[in-house]
Structure 1
Amino acid sequence: MTETIKTTCTLDCQDACGVEAEVENGRVVRLRGAEDHPYTEGFLCIRLNRYLDRLYSPERVTSPLQKTKGGWRGISWDDAIDLAAGKFRAAVDEYGPAAILYFASSGSFGISNRYNVRLFNRLGGPTVASGSLCLSAGVAGMVQSLGQSVSPAPSEMMNSRMIVLWGRNPAAYSIHMVPLIRKARERGAEIVLIDPVRSESAKLCGRHYAPRPGGDGYLALAVCKYLLEEGKADREFLENAAANAAAIERMCHRFSWEELSAGCGLSVETLREIATLFGVNHPAAVCMGRGPQHYRQGAETTRLILAACAVSGNLGVKGGGYNYNSDFWGPFDRSLNGGEFATSHRTAPKATIGEAILSLKDPHIRAAYIHGGNPVTQCPNSRKVARAIRSIDFVTVVDSFMTDTAECADLFLPSAMFLETRDVRPAGWNPYVGPVMPAVPPPEGVRPDWEIVGLLARKLGIEDPHLGQPVEEFLQASLAPIEKHGLDPARAINEVFRNPGCPRVPFEDGVFATPSGKFEFLEEWEPDENPEVDERYPLRLLSLKYQRYQSSQVPESKQKEAETTVWLHPETATRFGLGEGVSGRLHSPSGECEVRFALDEGLRRDVCLARSGGWLKKGHGVNVLTADVLTSSGECSGYYETRVCPVARA
């Protein structure tokens, strides 16, 4: 008998695909896109199309494991929960609640996982791994200039005369944006790619500009400077909807065209050409990717790109806007994370988590609970992170596979995957929230994250109505805020609904969510980087994600595909005595790794490109090289501050 279960993908992606799981004899045999989903419209990405290989992988761990001197051994769930609860209680009693590190990342975007910290807040408040590895500097920039993180509805692209993919690669990572771009192009829209890499999305675009990595702020400021000097700025917006328009005018006057050119690595003529596009194509939608904010000044860069949108009159208008992220917390009750119970509020940024663990005192980190993430592989400076996690007295990892991080743990608790769980999933860019329904039960010996937290709460003697309650009841409680918008939480957990916090055209009334109620330009900008390169490490390393796999979710049997390949422009390769297929090493101030070199004429000559996600225990992992640099705002990772030197194998 065949049954079809409708659910929503919870992978770390902004699309949140509607999914139909075809089940035969208790096993999922096929996944396909739900054609009635209002945004994803019936097709899935390559990562989800391969997901059943992961669900039914023989490498999956299906029982709790405890590390002993002789290696890992299986234990019962009762013993595992007793062990973890005892260690957590002992850490709190002896050192205080901040001695526990709580690390949660984006392995699942099901909303229930966002509340697991409630357990540790009931213990007094852990040290929370804060910020993000991927987008929080950009979000911080949006909040500082706009007052909130919100993007226009994707359908507004049909009203755009120009779409600028600024460091964004939808052909690989936002595939449901691609049909919209194609339709807009058919309607006459100009499609522009701004990216140091000639990515897969270049085929969608009529123009490609490759600024120096980290030079996006200079380019955005050049757009503002041209529009102001040529009398093409939106003066009505600047006078009525901006709080400090004089700030951007001062900044533009301060920087000469030659300084902007040197800063972004493009000629003055090219800068004027790009700026002219903003002057003649209105409305224009800017779709920014994660790359421009992966530098120390990621938030400032975001604000400068937003300034270009503002000066060109593309905020609060149909077909315009700044597309980056929408706050998925909008329809949910944030208070359910139990923050009111915490007496300790210490945080440690994920981007520098290794250094934080090693240096925090009063108290030191004595125990850790890690779920939904693989910090050893995904955080910068991987070897430092591994060393730091191993230094903790007791570490619990909740996962489905024996990752690099799990290898550093003392206790492994196997968790269910999204086709086996009940949840609700908000999207990060489109305005829809979808139900997550279990297509099949998890394997015997595996528990959903929310159930694990409930078991721990019970063993710790925590009486809390929201810890251990049926997940449907918890999901309804989390959606209580939507009642004021006329929506029924009991119904909403079972169907796709539009996030009431995502307007079709944000700020259309000219009112922003800032303290002033107006758009707020960056007041001052002091670029913190000298474009002159360090001769010891002459190339900038850009570490992108795999298209085929989600972050580090690469099966051990497929780790050959995650071999650290480094792409160089042919002229750059010649300069270092390298060629296609040559083996060698890549050195950075943080470390070195074995790599294989490949050639790509679509790259700038001052960069090299690699993919992150390979596992250290398999000899891969580009994050052994990346710098553990924290952005100035948003506690994001400045991955792309990393500089490297390629060396051929002797």
Structure 2
Amino acid sequence: MTDARSRMPLTAMHWGTYRAETRDGRLCALHPFEMDVDPSPIAGGFIGALDADSRITTPMVRQGWLQDPQGRDRERRGADSFVAVSWDEAERLVAQELLRVRQAHGCGAIYAGSYGWASAGRFHHPQGHLRRFLNLLGGHVGSKNTYSLAAGEVITKYAVGGFDVAAGGTTDWRTLVAHCETLVAFGGMRVTNGQISQGDVAGIASARPCSRPSAQGVNFVNVSPLRDDMLAELSADWLPIRPSTDTALVLGLCHTLLQDGLHDGAFLDRYTVGFDRFADYLTGRADGVVKSADWASGICDIAAERIVELARRMATTRTMISASWSLTRQDHGEQPFWAVIALASMLGQIGLPGGGFGLGYSAVNSMGLENTGLHFPPLPQGRNPVTDFIPVARVAEMLERPGETYDYDGETRTYPDARLVWWAGGNPFHHHQDLGRLRAAWRRPDTVIVNDWCWTATAQHADIVLPCTTPLERRDLCMGGRDPFVIAMEQVAQPPEGARDDYDIFAGMARAMGLEAAFTEGRSAGDWQRWMYEAGREAARATGHRPAGLRLLARTGLAPGRSAGETAGSLAGLPGRPEGQPAAHAQWPDRDMVRPDRVLRLRGLPAASVVAGALRVAGQVPAGRAAPDLEPADDQAALAAGSGGVQPVRQGQRIRAGADRPG
């Protein structure tokens, strides 16, 4: 790298850390950070989007919402035109509506949406600012869990004490390749997923975590319908499993261990509870169904001989079991994680270097990185007087069925009547399931407010849109417990005149409602960042670590995180016999992990070739290219299906994609 490039300012994004090159005051390139051995090109697409036609440069209010103060013309939400207003007017309208909803329905009628992923920086986290502001107003309904692995997050609370416990104890890649002999990956370990992380991914090789020759002593097993869910260079054994039948395969492996006497009874006695009942389930004493390799083979389409061979290999070698987050996003998605934990417990290698289990290797870049031991506090959000919440992926159900009951985590809960939805950071119309249903439910609340920097689908379905800055247009600190560096994120681009940082947006709203002093505490954005960093440094000193001071960080742009050293193995610090955990759901061990009706339905799935042969992609988006920069493919004809059949698509033509859904 040239000296000139090393002097370029740093910025961090969810896809990595980059050196920003400007020319004539404009950002023209993002160069990979010199310590990043496998940089992602995705961030390059951000540059062209900064001043694209889709950029929002002034507060906007939906016309029907303005003209119909009673009904708000909600049916037009998502198809209406918008009116530009000043920031003063936007603040007045928002304050007026918040007070109306609070007075008429209480703060339990305000849903603070948002989902994160709007910035890799620690301070400019829109969700944190939104919740801090609403807590000062009197509270809000929040959400729990993630779209990525909600069922897994809930079940690990009872199996091992929580997902944070499981994730925090994940064996790092260096330890794994040094000690592991067999790595069995249920759901594979797709490296493309590892291009992203909640923080930055500076200087990390984990996009290709286990590559030859570094992992030449590890035998990989890819349990996935897709062969390329693991790098070809790993020469993995491929078990092409029928989708959604991983639990059956794991049970077949567990039964083989039990039948052959290969399970670690001493480990099970010392560190687990409930194995006697699980053994009865495996042998069929509980329900008359023996969960043998033959039984599993008929469900997952993997030969019984291969199941037996794999179980024996896992028992006689140092084995790491990986389970992808995707396994939890299915009917009864808690079962694969629960079963994998049971299998790892039977092997008795939890806590040994290179052994045990890992939940989400390569799901995001941070999984498998060494824990630096540094923990920086977020922006304080204060206390939320409203204790109600919904599981994060139930937003459509909440809007459809206010006042109705639902089951969650062993409780019967009631959906709140959300009259106002505020989304800051995130795009539910991107990541939610069944968008047609969400769009219909989205018309139910009185008012939807969205902070965004461009016209996403969520912004287009809002009533009031507040334009915010992008991560490239503000200063921040990127720092997390698994990030190898603390990055001083410089402002490398100028925002449009009408855009504001989320902190300034909420400070303005707080000022309009007489809450400014409580919201800002007299601190600017820079003051808060200094407070957060110094609080983290103070906590680090208690562990004997001395992170770089802010002056040095500002001068160099980065400071190394402390490596906590080699981890013994996954969950090495797991306490013995967590007897208090399963008691909350004592009935769960008696539930069928693979019910007969599920087996029948899974056997009716179409063959993969039927699906693959039905559609052909007209062209792939080149890595790092934003949509406005794409060029037409000369050698392929793009087609669109509509009511008139399949029609050719003209260059520049806009197409609305959708699908008919039964029920």
TM-score for the superposition, normalised by structure 2: 0.74
| Residue type of the alignment partner of 2:117 | G
The alignment covers a number of residue pairs equal to 568
Match of 1:164 in 2: 184
Give the aligned residue type for 1:111: R
Alignment map for 1:199-238 (pairs within 5 Å): 199=228, 201-203=230-232, 204-238=234-268
Which amino acid counterpart does residue 4 of structure 1 have in structure 2?
A: M
Query: Separation in 2 of the partners of 1:536 and 1:517?
Result: 40
One-letter identity of the residue aligned with 2:312 = T
Larger CA deviation: 121-130 vs 45-54: 45-54
Shift of 1:91: 1.0
Q: Deviations over 1:65-107 (max 9, x none)?
A: 1211471122222222222222112211221111111111133
Q: Helix, strand or coil: the match of 2:353? A: coil
Match of 1:310 among 332, 345, 348: 345
Provide the rounded CA distance (Å) in 2 between the counterparts of 1:547 and 1:242.
49
Q: Determine whether 1:105 maps to 2:112.
A: no
Aligned to 1:336: 380
- Quote the Cα distance in structure 2 between the aligned partners of 1:166 and 1:626: 31
* RMSD (CA atoms): 4.2
SS at match of 2:211: helix
SS in 2 for 1:174: helix
**1:533 aligned to 2:601?**
yes
Contact 2:245 2:300 in 1 (8 A): yes
In structure 2, what is the Cα distance between the partners aligned to 1:314 and 1:82?
A: 61
Give the aligned residue type for 1:89: L
2:272 paired residue number: 242
The answer for the alignment partner of 1:7 in structure 2 is 11
Asked if 1:383 is matched to 2:436, the reply is yes
Secondary structure of 2:102's aligned partner: helix
1:142 to 151, 156, 161: 156
The structure-2 alpha-carbon separation of the partners of 1:231 and 1:295, relative to structure 1 and needing over 3 Å to count, comes to: same
Deviation at 1:382, TM superposition (A): 0.8
Residue of 434, 451, 475 corresponding to 2:504: 451
Q: Which residue of 2 aligns with 1:619?
A: 656
Tell me, yes or no, if structure 1 residue 29 matches structure 2 residue 23. no
In 1, distance between residues paired with 2:142 and 2:226?
A: 35
1:420 correspondence with 2:420: no
Say if 2:19 and 2:32, in contact at 8 Å, map to a contact too. Answer: yes
Structure 1 position 425, deviation (Å): 3.9
Q: Given that residues 172 and 547 in structure 1 are in contact (C-alpha distance below 8 angstroms), is that contact kept between their aligned partners in structure 2?
A: no
Cα deviation for residue 548 of structure 1 reads 6.1
| Alignment check: 8 A CA contact 1:511 1:517 kept | no
Q: Distance in 1 between matches of 2:631 and 2:89?
A: 33
Equivalences for residues 576-595 of structure 1 within 5 A: none
27, 52, 59: which one aligns with 1:57: 52
Describe the SS at the equivalent of 2:600.
coil
Query: Which string of whole-angstrom CA distances, capped at 9 and with x for unpartnered residues, describes residues 480-505 of structure 1?
Result: 36633315688478645548999834
Post-superposition shift, 1:370?
A: 0.7
Q: Choose 248-257 or 488-497, whichever is displaced more.
A: 488-497
2-structure distance, mates of 1:252, 1:363: 41
C-alpha displacement of 1:221: 1.9
Aligned-pair distance for 1:207? 1.2
Deviation for aligned residue 1:262? 2.9
CA distance in 1, matches of 2:577, 2:622: 38
Q: Which moved more, 1:530-539 or 1:132-141?
A: 530-539
Does residue 115 (structure 1) correspond to residue 134 (structure 2)? The answer is no
1:319 is aligned to 2:314: no
In the other structure, the counterpart of 1:640 is none
Q: Distance in 1 between the 2:192 and 2:176 partners?
A: 19
Distance 1:534 1:312 in 2: 28
Distance in 2 between residues matched to 1:368 and 1:476, nearest whole Å: 32
SS at 2:451's partner residue?
Answer: strand
User: Per the alignment, do residues 59 and 291 of structure 1 end up closer, same or farther by CA in structure 2, a change over 3 Å counting?
Assistant: same
Query: What percentage of residue pairs aligned between the two structures are identical?
Result: 20
* Separation (CA, whole Å) in 1 of partners of 2:473 and 2:644: 37
Displacement after TM superposition at 1:420 (Å): 1.9
Aligned to 1:130: 144
Distance 1:411 1:554 in 2: 26
Which residue pairs with 2:540 in the alignment? 485
Aligned-residue offset at 1:190:
0.8
SS in 2 for 1:390: coil
Task: Map 1:254-333 onto structure 2 (within 5 A).
Answer: 254=284, 255-257=290-292, 258-282=294-318, 284-324=319-359, 331-333=375-377
Q: State how far apart, in whole Å, the 2-side matches of 1:34 and 1:381 are.
A: 38
State the Cα deviation string for residues 608-650 of structure 1 (Å, max 9, x = none).
xxxxxxxxx942267x7599xxxxxxxxxxxxxxxxxxxxxxx
Structure 1 letter corresponding to 2:128: Y
Amino acid aligned to 1:461: G
Q: Which amino acid aligns with 1:356?
A: M
Query: Which of 511, 518, 535 matches 1:464?
Result: 518
Alignment CA distance shift 1:509-1:290 (3 Å): closer
Q: Deviations over 1:25-51 (max 9, x none)?
A: 332222233233xxxx34322322433
3-state SS of 1:4 partner: coil
Aligned to 1:182: 211
CA deviations on 1:113-147 (whole Å, 9 max, x unpaired) are 24221111222221224322112322333333222
The answer (yes or no) to whether the contact 2:453–2:468 under 8 Å persists in 1 is yes
Distance verdict in 2 for CA 1:425–1:514, change over 3 Å:
farther
Q: Distance in 2 between matches of 1:559 and 1:167?
A: 34
- Secondary structure of the equivalent of 1:619? coil
Task: Tell me if structure 1 keeps the 8 A contact 2:230–2:236.
Answer: no
Quickly say closer, same or farther: Cα 1:87–1:618, change in 2 above 3 A: farther
- Residue 519 of structure 1 deviates from its aligned partner by 11
| CA-CA distance at 1:191 after TM superposition | 1.7
Give me the whole-angstrom Cα distance separating, in 1, the residues matched to 2:257 and 2:644: 46
Deviations along 1:230-250, whole A, 9 cap, x unmatched?
Answer: 232233422322234334423
- Amino acid in the other structure paired with 1:196: P
Contact 1:34 1:43 in 2 (8 A): no
Contact 1:243 1:518 in 2 (8 A): no
* 2:173 is the counterpart of 1:154: yes
Contact map agreement 1:169 1:199 (CA 8 A) in 2: no
Q: For 1:220, what is the secondary structure of its paired residue? A: helix
Change in Cα spacing, 1:497 to 1:83, as seen in structure 2 (3 Å) is farther
After TM superposition, give the deviation of residue 10 of structure 1 in Å.
3.1
1:512: which partner in 2?
575
CA 1:346–1:503 in structure 2 vs 1: closer, same or farther (change >3 Å)?
farther
Q: 1:365 aligns with which of 418, 426, 432?
A: 418
2:309 & 2:275 partners in 1: Cα distance?
A: 24
Question: Is the 2:133–2:519 contact (alpha carbons within 8 Å) kept by the matching residues of 1?
Answer: no
Asked if the contact 1:104–1:129 (Cα under 8 Å) also holds between the matched residues in 2, the reply is no
Change (3 A) 1:22 1:312: farther
Query: Residues 103 and 369 of structure 1 are in contact (CA less than 8 Å); yes or no, is this contact kept in structure 2?
Result: yes
TM-score, L = length of structure 1: 0.76
Contact 2:108 2:140 (8 Å CA) reproduced: yes
Q: 1:215 offset after TM fit, Å?
A: 1.0
